[in-house]
Structure 1
Amino acid sequence: MIVTVGDVAAGGHCVARVDGEVYFVRHALPGERVRIEITERKKRFAFADAVEVLEASPDRVEPPCRFAGPSKCGGCDFQHATPESQRRLKAKVLFDQLTRIGGIDPARLDGVEVEALAWPEGALGWRTRMQYAVGPDGRPGLRAHKSHDLIHIDKCAIATERIRESEVLGKHWDGMGAVGVVDTDDEQLAVYTQLRRTARPHHKSGPKLVHQQVGSNEFEIGFDGFWQVHPAAASTFLECALDFLQPREGESAWDLYAGAGAFAAGLAEAVGETGRVVAVENAPASRTAANLARWKNAGAIDGDVAAIAPDLGSVDLVVLDPPRSGAGPEVVVALGEARPRAICYIACDAGALARDASDLAIEGYELKRLRAFDAFPMTQHFETIALFEPVD
C-alpha cells in the first residue's frame, strides 16, 4: 500500500497510520509518501519496509553503501538520511522516550540535541569492532534486519579503513558461526572466531591483549573485551562525565559496570590521593584491576553490580554505564540507599535510561543535565550522558 510517513519512532522506524492501523516503517523519513511492503504482523501493529519513494524528504540522500536498503544488510538504519537529519531523528527519539517513559518534564529537555563526534570520515569508517556471521559455506557476511538471512558483502562502509582493507571478508571460515575483527589504538588487528553466538570467542590472529588510549592513560583489555566502538567516544564520554560530576579532592566514587576502568581512572586522578574509587565489573576480559593498578586510590571488585552495590556503603559520586538493558530497579535502589551527591549515567539505550530515570525519581533523584552523542552514525543508536542529583 501507499502511505504518508509520520514521525520517527525508536528502533530505526517511522510511524505510518492508515485506517486505524499502525505501521512501523524502515527506510523512510518523516513526511515522505512511500509504497510499503509488510514484513511482519503483530496483533496491534505491523512492521514494513519502504520499497518505493513517491515523494521524498529533503533530508533523503542516496545511501553511500550499496548493501543498505530493504532486504539488504540490516546493520545501518539511516543511510538514506543526511548525517544532520539522522541526529535530529535521534534527538526526537530521546525526547519522546524520556518524557513518555521516564516522566521527565519536557521543559527540562528543551533544545536537546545529539552531537556529532569528530572523525575524519564523518559518518563512515568509524567502527573499530566488527563481527560477521558465517554461513554454511564458510563465507562471512552480515544479517538482514531481524532475519537469519546472510548478506555477503565485500566491505562494510562504517568499519575503519584497516578493517575494510583486511582479508577477513575474503576468507572462508568453515565450521564457524561468526568471525570478528578488532582495530586497536596501537594500529593492530585482532581476529577471533566463534562456533556459535553463545560460545566463547577463540583468538585466531593479532594481539591477544589490545591497547586503547584515553588521554595519557593506556588500557589493556582482552581481544574480546568491551570498548567503545567509535574512536572518539571514550575520551569524549570521560570528559563529559567529569564535567557533570565536578569531582572534589578527597571524595569517594564508584564506577559501576566499569569495563576496562576508563571512568575509574579519570575519577582517581580527579579525587586525588585522599579520595577513593571502587570499580565493579564482572567480565575478566576487561582486566579492570590490572588497568587500575597504577592508582593507589583505586581498586576493582570482580562481580555483578546488582549483587555488590548494596554492600558498598555510602558514596559521593557514581558513574553508571550499564548494558543496553539498563541498570534495573535493584541497582537503582542501592544507589538511593548510598545517597551520592551526583550520579552520571552513560546510556546506550534511551528506553533503558528512561526506565531507570523513573526509578531514580522514586529514590529522590532528578535529571539535572543531559548531553547525547552520535557515537553510532548511520544506525538508530546513540549514547546519552545524564546527570542526576538529589531533589532539593
Structure 2
Amino acid sequence: MTPQTPQGASAPGDLELTIGPAAHGGHFVARHEGRVVFVRHALPGERVRARLTDVGEKAKFWRADVVEVLEPAPARVPHFWAPADALKAGSRGRLPVGGAEFGHIGLAEQRRLKAGIFAEQLRRLAGIEREVTVEAAAEENPDGLGWRTRASFSVAPGGHLAMHPHRSEDLVPVQEMPLASTAINALKLWEVDFTGAERVEVAAPAAGGPPLVLLIPAGGTRPRTLARIASEIGAVADPAAGETVSVAAWDPESHELTRLRGRTWVREQAEGHDYRVTGAGFWQIHRSAPGTLVQAVVQGLDLQPGERAADLFAGAGLFTAPLAEAVGTEGHVLSVEGSPGTSRDARKNLFAMPQVEVVQGRVDRVLRNHEGRLDAVLLDPPRTGAGRVVVDQISAASPRVVGYVSCDPASFARDLAWFGEAGWELEMLRVFDLYPHTHHMESFAVLRRP
C-alpha cells in the first residue's frame, strides 16, 4: 500500500528538483546529486517537490511524482480530473490514477512537447534530424475531452470500477472518466456492482449504435453472477443507453466469448466503410482516429488500379477495405492479422471484396511463405513495433512504397533505422495528437528507396 502522508507534510522520500526536458513515456528529466530522476506530472523549468516512487541505491535512475509545485511553468493549468491530479493525490499521500498524465498542461504545450519527444527519438534511435509537428485530430473538442470510444477499468473490492496509478497495483475507485465519450459515461457503470469481474472493457461506436460492455470474470465466477451484472448494467444506464447496451463475458485464456445481453460486437464506420468489431478486438480509440488515419494512408500510398498490396497487422480491416477499393477487382490486397477473433472480423468485413486475401497468422511466418510481387506494403504494428525480421522481409519484397502507422515513436524510430540500413528513406511523416492529455501519439510515415 502507498504510505499515507498528512496534507502539506513532506515524506522522507521527497526531493526538491528543478525539472529538465520531457522524455518519452510521460516523464520529465531531473537530476539529484548526479542521479537521473524521471518525474511525472511536471513541466520543464519548474521547481517542484517530488515524491520518490521507485528508488534503489544501485539503480541507474529513480522515479518520482510531483506532489507540490514551488515555481510553476506558464503552461501549467488546473487538472480537469481529480483522481488523476497528482497535486491533490499527493496532498493525501496517494498516487494519481494513470491515463491522464498530461492533464496539467495546456493542449498547445502538450503538442509542442510531443513534437520534441518524437524528434528526439528519431535523432537518437534512427539518426534522423527532422522537424516534427503534432497535428490536432479533426473536430477535436477545444478542451481535449470526450474522445475515447474505448475505456478499460479494473474492479476494486466492493465491486466498484477503479483504475491503477502508474506502475502500481493500488486501485483507486472512479466515478467518471472525462476523456471517455458521452455514450460511455451515460452507461453510469460506476453505479454497478461488478463483484465477480476482474476487469471491465467498454466500447461505444463513434457513429452511434449499441455500446458493448465486456466483462473479464475473476476466477471461479459463476454464470448467474455475470447475468446479474448484465442485468444491473441495463438498469442503471441512462434510458437511451440502457435499452441498447450489449454485455458479453470474455475469457482471455480460452478466448471464449459469451453473450449475456444484446450482441457480442459493435458496428464501426470509417470513410464510407462499415466494420464489425467483436469483443476485445482492436479499434482506434479516438473518435476521429479511423477517418484521420485512413485519409493519410490512402493519400500517402497512392495505390493504383491493378496494384498488389499487403496490409500487415491488419486488425479488423480498417485500412484493408480502402486499399482494396483503390486497387480495384483487378488488384490484390493481402490482409494479415495474428489474432484469430480479429481475423474472423476481417473476413466478415471484407467478404464482398474478392481482391482481398485474409490470412490469420504471425506476420513474419506469413511473409516467409508469401509468393508474388508487392507494389505497396502498409504496416500498423503493436506498440512494440514490427521488429528486425519483418522489416527485412518487407525490404526483400522490394515494394515501391512502404506505409508505416505507429503508436510509439521509440519502436518506430528503431524500425526506421533498420529500414534505413536497407536503403529506405523517410519521405513523409505526419504525427497526430490522437491521445490528448496523455503522452501518447500516433504517426504515419511513407518510406521509399531512392
Indicate whether the TM-score tops 0.5.
Answer: yes
Alignment of 1:18-57 (within 5 A): 18-42=32-56, 43-57=59-73
Q: Secondary structure at the match of 2:417?
A: helix
For 2:136 and 2:439, locate their aligned partners in 1 and report how far apart those are by CA, in whole Å: 14
Question: What residue identity is the alignment partner of 1:73?
Answer: V
Q: Does 1:94 find its partner at 2:150?
A: no
Determine the structure 2 residue equivalent to 1:9.
Answer: 23
Determine the structure 1 residue equivalent to 2:191.
Answer: 170
Q: How far 1:206 moved relative to its partner?
A: 4.1
CA deviations on 1:127-176 (whole Å, 9 max, x unpaired) are 11111101232221111111111111110110101111213221111121
Question: What residue identity is the alignment partner of 1:94?
Answer: F
For 2:168 and 2:390, locate their aligned partners in 1 and report how far apart those are by CA, in whole Å: 34
CA deviations on 1:285-332 (whole Å, 9 max, x unpaired) are 321122111112112111111111122233110110001111011111
Residues 334 and 357 in structure 2, CA contact (< 8 A), matched pair in contact too? yes
Question: What residue identity is the alignment partner of 2:183?
Answer: R
CA deviations on 1:98-151 (whole Å, 9 max, x unpaired) are 1101222x1xx12x1111112453410111111110123222111111111111
Q: Does 1:85 find its partner at 2:103?
A: no
For 1:274 and 1:192, locate their aligned partners in 2 and report how far apart those are by CA, in whole Å: 40
Alignment of 1:1-392 (within 5 A): 1-42=15-56, 43-70=59-86, 71-104=95-128, 106=129, 109-110=130-131, 112-119=132-139, 121-122=141-142, 123-184=144-205, 185-195=207-217, 198-199=252-253, 200=255, 203-286=259-342, 287-313=345-371, 314-390=373-449, 392=450
Question: What residue identity is the alignment partner of 1:167?
Answer: K
Summarize the Cα distance change of 1:202–1:96 in structure 2 as closer, same or farther, 3 Å threshold. Answer: farther
Question: What residue identity is the alignment partner of 1:142?
Answer: M
Residues 258 and 264 in structure 2, CA contact (< 8 A), matched pair in contact too? no
Residues 260 and 288 in structure 1, CA contact (< 8 A), matched pair in contact too? yes
Summarize the Cα distance change of 1:204–1:32 in structure 2 as closer, same or farther, 3 Å threshold. Answer: farther
Residues 372 and 384 in structure 1, CA contact (< 8 A), matched pair in contact too? yes
Q: How far 1:58 moved relative to its partner?
A: 0.9
Q: How far 1:204 moved relative to its partner?
A: 4.1
TM-score between the two structures when normalised by the length of structure 1: 0.95
CA deviations on 1:63-110 (whole Å, 9 max, x unpaired) are 111111231211211000011111111111111111101222x1xx12
Residues 163 and 173 in structure 2, CA contact (< 8 A), matched pair in contact too? yes
How high is the sequence identity, in percent, across the aligned residues? 37
Residues 209 and 266 in structure 2, CA contact (< 8 A), matched pair in contact too? no
Q: Secondary structure at the match of 2:404?
A: strand
What are the ranges of 5 or more consecutive residues in structure 2 without an aligned counterpart?
A: 1-14, 87-94, 219-250
For 2:260 and 2:153, locate their aligned partners in 1 and report how far apart those are by CA, in whole Å: 14
Size of the aligned set, in residue pairs, is: 387
What are the ranges of 5 or more consecutive residues in structure 1 without an aligned counterpart?
A: none
Q: How far 1:19 moved relative to its partner?
A: 2.6
Residues 209 and 267 in structure 2, CA contact (< 8 A), matched pair in contact too? no
Summarize the Cα distance change of 1:64–1:364 in structure 2 as closer, same or farther, 3 Å threshold. Answer: same
Q: How far 1:207 moved relative to its partner?
A: 2.9
Q: Secondary structure at the match of 1:39?
A: strand
Q: How far 1:186 moved relative to its partner?
A: 3.4
Residues 207 and 223 in structure 1, CA contact (< 8 A), matched pair in contact too? no
Residues 156 and 172 in structure 2, CA contact (< 8 A), matched pair in contact too? no
Question: What residue identity is the alignment partner of 1:188?
Answer: P
Question: What residue identity is the alignment partner of 1:208?
Answer: T
Summarize the Cα distance change of 1:44–1:322 in structure 2 as closer, same or farther, 3 Å threshold. Answer: same
- What do you get for the CA RMSD once the two structures are aligned? 1.5
For 1:204 and 1:13, locate their aligned partners in 2 and report how far apart those are by CA, in whole Å: 41
For 1:203 and 1:36, locate their aligned partners in 2 and report how far apart those are by CA, in whole Å: 47
Question: What residue identity is the alignment partner of 2:366?
Answer: I
For 1:92 and 1:14, locate their aligned partners in 2 and report how far apart those are by CA, in whole Å: 12
For 2:210 and 2:260, locate their aligned partners in 1 and report how far apart those are by CA, in whole Å: 13
Q: Which has the larger Rg? A: 2
Residues 192 and 205 in structure 1, CA contact (< 8 A), matched pair in contact too? no
For 1:362 and 1:353, locate their aligned partners in 2 and report how far apart those are by CA, in whole Å: 14
Q: Secondary structure at the match of 1:367?
A: strand
Q: Secondary structure at the match of 1:67?
A: helix
CA deviations on 1:330-349 (whole Å, 9 max, x unpaired) are 11111011111111100011
